[in-house]
Amino acid sequence: MKLYCLSGHPTLPCNVLKFKSTTIMLDCGLDTTSVLNFLPLPLVHSPRLSKLPGWVSKDGTINLEKELKDCAGRVFVDSQPEFCLPERELLDLSTIDVILISNYHCMMALPYITEHTGFTGTVYATEPTLQIGRLLMEEVVNFMERVPKAQSATCWKNKEIQRMLPGPLKDAVDVWTWKRCYSMQEVNSALSKVQLVGYSQKVELFGAVQVSPLSSGYSLGSSNWIIQSHHEKVSYVSGSSLLTTHPQPMDQSSLKNSDVLILTGLTQMPTANPDGMLGEFCSNLAMTIRAGGNVLVPCYSSGVIYDLLECLYQFIESASLGTTPFYFISPVANSSLEFSQIFAEWLCHNKQTKVYLPEPPFPHAELIQTNKLKHYPSIHGDFSSEFRQPCVVFTGHPSLRFGDVVHFMELWGKSSLNTIIFTEPDFSYLDALAPYQPLAMKCVYCPIDTRLNFHQVSKLLKEVQPLHVVCPEQYTQPPLTQSHRSDLMLELQPPPMPYRRCSVLNLPFRRRYERVYILPELANSLVPSEIKPGVSVATVSAVVHSKDNKHTLQSVPKPPPVAPSKKRKRVMDEPPVVMTPKPLLSGAVPLEAFLATLQKHGITEVKVEETADGHILHLQAEDTLIQLEEDGTHIVCDNNEPLRTTLRDLVLRFLQKL
Amino acid sequence: MPEINVTPLGAGQDVGRSCILVSIGGKNIMLDCGMHMGYNDDRRFPDFSYITQNGRLTDFLDCVIISHFHLDHCGALPYMSEMVGYDGPIYMTHPTKAICPILLEDFRKITVDKKGETNFFTSQMIKDCMKKVVPLNLHQTVQVDDELEIKAYYAGHVLGAAMVHIKVGSESVVYTGDYNMTPDRHLGAAWIDKCRPDILISESTYATTIRDSKRCRERDFLKKVHESIERGGKVLIPVFALGRAQELCILLETFWERMNLKAPIYFSTGLTEKANHYYKLFITWTNQKIRKTFVQRNMFEFKHIKAFDRSYADNPGPMVVFATPGMLHAGQSLQIFKKWAGNEKNMVIMPGYCVQGTIGHKILNGQRKLEMEGRATLDVKLQVEYMSFSAHADAKGIMQLIRMAEPRNMLLVHGEAVKMEFLKGKIEQEFSIDCYMPANGETATITTNPSVPVDISLSLLKREMALGGSLPDPKKPRTMHGTLIMKENSLKLVSSEQALKELGLNEHQLRFTCRVQLQDPHSDPDTLHRIYTHLKSVLKGYTIQHLPDGTVMVESIVIKVSSSAEDSNAKVLLLSWSYQDEDLGSFLSTLLKKGLPSGLC
């Protein structure tokens, strides 16, 4: 069993597991941090960004002024932003049988894997994961296509040239794998390969392996996966949460008894408490509004935003923000808000009970109804005429490189009254802000990452007791910036097996058993005999039928009837056809009892001689020797086949057959 | 032989109070717990005394599963759990869990408050009963206990309706509840995978009908409504709050939009408005088309359909009113009916089945003079139309489901005996499987023949596979020999050697030695070689070796030659073999006793 690791990003994993005869891809994460190296894509013409000086090396030998721009003291690539794809050379992607998706953030690379690679398999995901994942992809495609950029910069990627560039471009890795965003057509085609599954649904793969998603508590429809056969179990844990937010709580107990547990998607902010961050978010928001400033919240269109809105719903009145407009701007804002209300089965208990009333599970329905929250597909159209300040704007993309957020950065960045509050943990906020410097706007960093922290995960592992843990290498040492914090890493016995991008791990498995089914006819014909109290054995001779990786044992068909009588005479001369080999024997032949049995069969003249290991019985009338020992019996008998077979059967009476 | 027993307490050769007991692999399961609309006495509920004469049911049932929210499938639930007594788990889907208590409360109100019956379950009992409910998701495998697992499939019929697959070990049963094999205006079609259950328990409401296309019935319905409106009449459609009502609303809504009609459509308030909310929140349970477009346009937000106020009934001009309940036995629908009955321009459309004794039933049977409370009589002059919109599978649909699931046996419930008999014949003929149709209180017993799961050591399996080559040869079956160890509950199949090791047993070697006298005028080595050549020609397909140490080995049988001191032509062959080679050893000793043929070199 092998694990191929195609992504080095611990929260955006992409691993391939070869298990029995199946090839299973676990998640399809797209590392989008690469976009931080690119210039923002403004929605409206920006004089500042269009007048940036091109980059020429100090000695003037390398001139890339068309591709690279100097902005706020850093060099950025002037091209459509590109993403860092999972490794595509480590193994043939067309051999992948299935892809298991754990949550909508971990499927963004799907079109790169399923399209143009010869992939013919099936993708498994829950319904919310599919629907919201589709929205997130649609949003990114829309952001990119709204601002088409003809130019695609490639010269800077040349190894020789990249070496000469200033940081952080110089240190960017795998730049040749970076790709532009996919098209909506590719998204649709990729998503048409998705097969929906429900929590705890058992999906058979080729009869060899069973996979099953479990609630992971992180987002709507998010799941961990169990991959198992009758005797081996691999748990794949990705993006799980024990906090009580909107999704169904995490199913922990089903992870028990794993041979291997693959652990990814721990919190990226191990030192930031989500509840504290939420409080800080609210107070900073209120402070800015009261001072007459605007608040910008760069965020994804699904996920934590539901919790932020719910928190604000309770907070608005008490903070007397009742008249402040809240705007949610995204091409998928409406869909995201609507979809969140129809997945009752996937929600936590409290929200489920609301649906029974029947009321919408999320209070943002009421915010919309009372006009406190308004949503728009983009800054163009209705928004520009209805927009009032001061206000709060939720919009994407959290990298600040594309989407409507770029416009608000340009619009509000120069005033110190305004505040930008970062809530998404995926991007370093300083890097995100780099092309907008110098900035007068206040910046508040409240990353909310509800995924498991190191304390929670070690408790979980103690509980579920996997034999081996596999995890990204980042989890086996403290973070670079806090090297003294030994509590911010995994310490386990046996130590976890670390992986990095392009690792191929041999998972420590010893498969020893396989499930077979004995058909009723054969089962009924077996004759068990008790060997020890509670333990019986039966010898089995059977024909194995293997179909679709399932094995069944059937009775051995009877040999065809003996050929007609003409050949009868020769039957004795035919060498035996061995259909059933004789069983192995066990036990010992007790002397006294054996002698008594011999006597019963008319063999009375027995001379017994004691030897070092047992006895020799001399059957004088028959001139036959029987050597009885603890672990063997030897019958020496000439020219008397009937006697030999009688003796054989008498000896066998005392022995167990296996 | 293991067997599965199925006993209907209700719905056995009957429609109403569905309640079916299944015992499988030592587990007892109750499928549905409904009431009978046609009775007002004890026969209203299933006879739970069949399960036990005295006391609670908890000890006798492992779980209860409710297929959907119709009262003939869940109406007896609070009575069973709170008044007879059952504390175990009750499984139903989320929408059923949401809607079922509302219908139960409605039913209770009509029975207790309106009809004044006592000794009936209370509101509190409904609440307590619902606390025992565990929600089921589609396709989720729920482990009721270590052995019993259940899985729900989409059944169409009404919002949240499910079929359920019940499995213990390798035995399984599928219960369909009520289902619909063709998608309608708001729901999808039932679907199940090829799960090959031992028994498929199916409803058979329309056992003998092959229904005309739904489109025709819809067109018919719209035509009637339209004609009535055109001539200025009022149309009353008595409905139950959930199910058909939404389907017909969608139908009228789209029709109104398309035809640009102006006549108002009303929906009686309260329950129905709430009902539409359920459809909006459980939109994932509706059909593909509605689910796909719900963000742009939620099909359950009706533009043309407005809430009804009782004063509207006297408004002049045409209108369409949906009012509850569906059988005109009480409530708003009956009030409106009384007002409108006298005008032949008006129309009442009954979209579903009506139980005997209700006004709905009477007018459908052509009664034109109704006796009302007091001594008043009501002349029925308005047009009365019946239109079946209930979503059950017809004969074609039932056959289609059998093809999908491939059951080993079939069992029919929820239908009329005569019609069942007909379908039973058809099923037995077409699928060559047994079909049962037990009456209430009667048990159908089906013997199953499960195969026994065993863990085989991989080395044994691989050894066997290697011997047989990669492709199985049908002419030469691959035979495998091993030892089955039965310890506690585990069954392990290993090679005999491994079995000895695992059980901590020593091997006992049984050997035979046999001397054969032979006249052969050659030197000892030559004789040995002659034996070798002889055996080579006789024993085809065996490993025969002539070893340099002066022995011949046939498989593991050792043959040596020596000559007696007196006569060098009198040879003594020494044969030695172990018990495992008994057949061959015995054969060789007999063969060699006959001497060597002369023609050997």
B139 and B223 inside one domain: no
Measured between alpha carbons, how far is A267 from A327 in angstroms, rounded to an integer?
28
Q: Which of A199, A517, A546 sits opposite B452 (nearest CB)?
A: A517
B22 shares a domain with B148: yes
- B15 and B157 share a domain? yes
* Residue A441: C-alpha distances to residues A113, A222, A278, A291, A416 (Å): 40, 36, 21, 13, 4
Name the residue with higher pLDDT: A417 or B461. A417
Six token digits for residue B363: 């007018």
CA distance A446 to chain B (A): 32
Question: Comparing A401-415, A516-530, A570-584, which segment has the lowest mean pLDDT?
Answer: A570-584
What are phi and psi for residue A138, nearest 5 degrees?
Answer: -60, -40
Cβ–Cβ < 8 Å for B382, B347:
yes
Q: Is A1 on the interface with B (CB under 8 A)?
A: no
Subunit contact A585:B508, Cβ cutoff 8 A:
yes
Within the 231-260 window of chain A, which residues sit less than 8 Å (CB to CB) from chain B? 231
Q: pLDDT tens-digit profile of A58-95?
A: 888 888 888 999 998 899 999 999 999 999 999 999 99
Do residue A586 and residue B452 have CB atoms under 8 angstroms apart? no
Let me know whether B245 and B269 are in one domain: yes
Residue B473 lies in a domain: no
Residue recorded with tokens 């429609």 = B15
Strand order across the beta sheet in which B133-136 lies? B133-136, B90-93, B63-65, B27-31, B19-24, B3-10, B444-447
Give the gap in angstroms from C-alpha A524 to the nearest C-alpha of chain B. Answer: 10
What CATH number is associated with residue B277? 3.40.50.10890
Residue B475 belongs to a domain: no
Contacts of A641 in chain B (CB under 8 A): 586, 589-590
Structural domain span for residue B291: 214-386
A-chain residue closest to B593, CA distance: A639
**Is B45 contained in some domain?**
yes
Same domain membership, residue B267 and residue B358: yes
Of A199, A231, A552, the CB nearest to B137: A199
Contact A651 B482 (CB under 8 A): no
Structure tokens at B579: 């018990």
Q: Could you tell me the two tokens for B278? A: 């359920």
Residues B4, B24 contacting (CB under 8 angstroms): yes
Cβ atoms B323, B239 nearer than 8 A = yes
CATH number of the structural domain spanning residue B91:
3.60.15.10
Taking the C-alpha atoms of residue B407 and residue B194, their distance in angstroms, rounded to an integer, is 9
A-chain CB neighbours of B496 within 8 Å are 539, 583-584, 658
**Among A333-347, A471-485, B291-305, the range of highest mean pLDDT:** A333-347
User: Could you tell me whether strands B479-487 and A535-547 are parallel, antiparallel, or unpaired per DSSP bridges?
Assistant: antiparallel
pLDDT at A561 over 70: no
Q: Cα–Cα distance between A503 and B196 in angstroms, integer?
A: 43
Surface of A (552-591) touching B: CB under 8 A: 552-553, 556-557, 572-573, 575-576, 578-589
Interface test with A, best of B295, B572, B594 (most A CBs within 10 A): B295
Q: What pLDDT band is residue A350 in, cutting at 50, 70 and 90? A: very high
Mean pLDDT over the full length of chain B = 88
Q: What is the pLDDT of residue A371?
A: 93
Same domain, B22 and B167: yes
The alpha-carbon gap from A190 to the nearest alpha carbon of chain B, in Å, equals: 18
Cβ distance B458 to A335 less than 8 Å, yes or no, reads no
Residue B471 has pLDDT above 70, yes or no: no
CATH 3.40.50.10890 fits A274-445, yes or no: yes
In this structure, which topology does domain A2-267+451-506 adopt according to CATH?
Metallo-beta-lactamase; Chain A (3.60.15)
Residues in A closer than 8 angstroms to B281, CB to CB, are 341-342, 344, 355, 358, 360-361
What part of A 616-645 touches B (C-beta under 8 Å)?
630-639, 641, 644-645
Closest Cβ–Cβ partner in A511, A633, A641 for B510: A633
The pair of three-digit structure tokens given for residue B593, joined into one six-digit string: 């006793």
Looking at residue A316, its amino acid is I
Q: Would you say residue B58 lies in a domain?
A: yes
pLDDT at A578: 56
Q: In the structure, what pLDDT confidence band is assigned to residue B211 with cuts at 50, 70 and 90?
A: low
Average pLDDT over residues B59-77: 95
- Residues of B within 8 A of A523 (CB-CB) are 451-452
What secondary structure letter does DSSP report for B328?
Answer: S
A interface test, pick of B1, B142, B452, B558 with most A CB neighbours within 10 Å: B452
Structurally, chain B folds into a number of domains equal to 4
Q: What's the distance, CA A555 to chain centroid?
A: 42
Label residue A394 by pLDDT band (50, 70, 90). very high
In this complex, the residue of B137, B479, B584 whose CB is nearest that of residue A345 is B137
Q: Taking the model in full, what pTM does it have?
A: 0.89
Closest-CA residue of B relative to A354 is: B98
CB contact under 8 A, A585 and B139: no
CA distance A8 to chain B (A): 33
Query: From CA B231, how far away is CA B243, in angstroms rounded?
Result: 29
> For strand B490-494 and strand B479-487, is the pairing parallel, antiparallel, or unpaired?
antiparallel
Residues of chain A with CATH 3.40.50.10890: 274-445
**Which ipTM did the prediction report?**
0.87
pLDDT at A571 > cutoff 50 = no
pLDDT tens sequence across A626-654? 988 888 899 988 878 888 888 888 888 88
pLDDT at B15: 84
Where in chain A are all domains bearing CATH 3.60.15.10?
A: 2-267+451-506
pLDDT at B521: 82
Under an 8 A CB cutoff, do B141 and A582 touch?
no
Q: Are residues B179 and B248 in the same domain?
A: no
CA-only gyration radius of chain B, Å: 38
C-alpha atoms less than 13 angstroms from C-alpha of A128 in its C-beta half-sphere: 30
Q: Contacts of residue A556 in chain B, CB cutoff 8 Å?
A: 477, 479
Catalytic residue among B82, B105, B149, B203: B203
Q: Of B386, B407, B428, which closes a domain?
A: B386
Task: CATH 3.30.310 in chain A: give the residue spans.
Answer: 585-657
What is the reported pLDDT for A345? 93
Chain A CB contacts of B456 under 8 Å are: 513-516, 551
Are B242 and B308 part of one and the same domain?
yes
Q: Does B23 or A57 have the greater pLDDT score?
A: B23
Mean pLDDT over residues B522-542, rounded?
84
**pLDDT at residue number A310:** 94
* Whole-angstrom distance, CA of residue A108 vs CA of residue A9: 13
Q: Is the pLDDT of residue B377 over 90?
A: no
pLDDT one-digit tens code per residue, B72-126: 899 999 999 999 999 999 999 999 999 999 889 888 887 787 677 778 899 999 9
Residues of B in contact with A513 (CB under 8 A): 455-458, 492
Would B8 be classed as within a structural domain?
yes
Q: Give contacts of B509 with chain A, Cβ < 8 Å.
A: 585, 631-634
First to last CA, chain A: 33
Banded pLDDT at B474 (limits 50, 70, 90): low
My answer on whether B150 and B197 are in the same domain is yes
The arithmetic mean of pLDDT across residues A555-560, rounded, is 75
Report the SS3 class of residue B123: helix
Q: Is B416 a catalytic residue?
A: no
In a domain, B284, yes or no: yes
CB within 8 Å: B480 and A541: yes
- pLDDT score of A182: 96
User: Which residue in chain A is spatially nearest to B576 when comparing CA positions?
Assistant: A636
The answer regarding whether domain A585-657 maps to CATH 3.30.70 reads no
Would you call A523 and B493 a contact, using CB atoms and an 8 Å cutoff? no
| Dist. CA A330–CA A48, nearest whole Å | 25
Distance CA B97, CA B79 (A): 17
Phi-psi group of B253: left, alpha or beta (phi > 0 → left; psi -120 to 50 → alpha; rest → beta)? alpha
CATH number, domain of B576, equals: 3.30.530.50
Q: Which of A440 and B566 is assigned the larger pLDDT? A: A440
Q: How many CA atoms lie within 13 A of B546 on its CB side?
A: 13
Identify whether B139 is part of a domain.
yes
Q: What is the pLDDT of residues A502-546, one digit of tens each?
A: 999 999 887 788 899 999 889 888 888 888 888 888 988 888 888
Q: CA of A198: which chain B residue's CA is closest?
A: B140
When pLDDT is cut at 50, 70 and 90, the band that residue B270 belongs to is low
Shared-domain flag, residues B301 and B421: no
- Answer yes or no: do B8 and B148 share one domain: yes
Which residue spans within A396-509 are E strands per DSSP? 419-422, 442-445, 468-472, 497-499, 504-506
What gap in Å lies between CA A425 and CA A446, rounded to an integer? 8
Domain-embedded: residue B295: yes
Task: Flag if A658 and B483 touch (Cβ within 8 Å).
Answer: yes
Q: Any CB–CB contact under 8 A between A188 and chain B?
A: no
- Considering only alpha carbons, which residue of chain A is nearest residue B294? A338
Residue B465 or residue A546, greater confidence = A546
What residues of B are in contact with residue A579 (Cβ under 8 Å)? 479
Pairing assessment for the beta strands A497-499 and B3-10 based on DSSP bridges = unpaired
Q: Which secondary structure element, helix H or strand E, spans residue A15, and what is its range?
A: strand A15-19
Instruction: Give the pLDDT band (50/70/90) at residue B269.
Output: low
A353 → chain B, closest CA residue: B98
Structure tokens of A209?
A: 């392996």
Q: What percent of chain A has pLDDT over 90?
A: 64
Spell out the residues 6+ positions from residue A459 whose beta carbon is closer than 8 angstroms to its own: none
Q: Read off the pLDDT of residues A108-143 as tens digits, 9 standing for 90 and up.
A: 999 999 999 999 999 999 999 999 999 999 999 999
Q: Which residue has the higher pLDDT, B556 or B46?
A: B46
Which of B377 and B40 is assigned the larger pLDDT? B377
Q: Are residues B492 and B534 in the same domain?
A: no
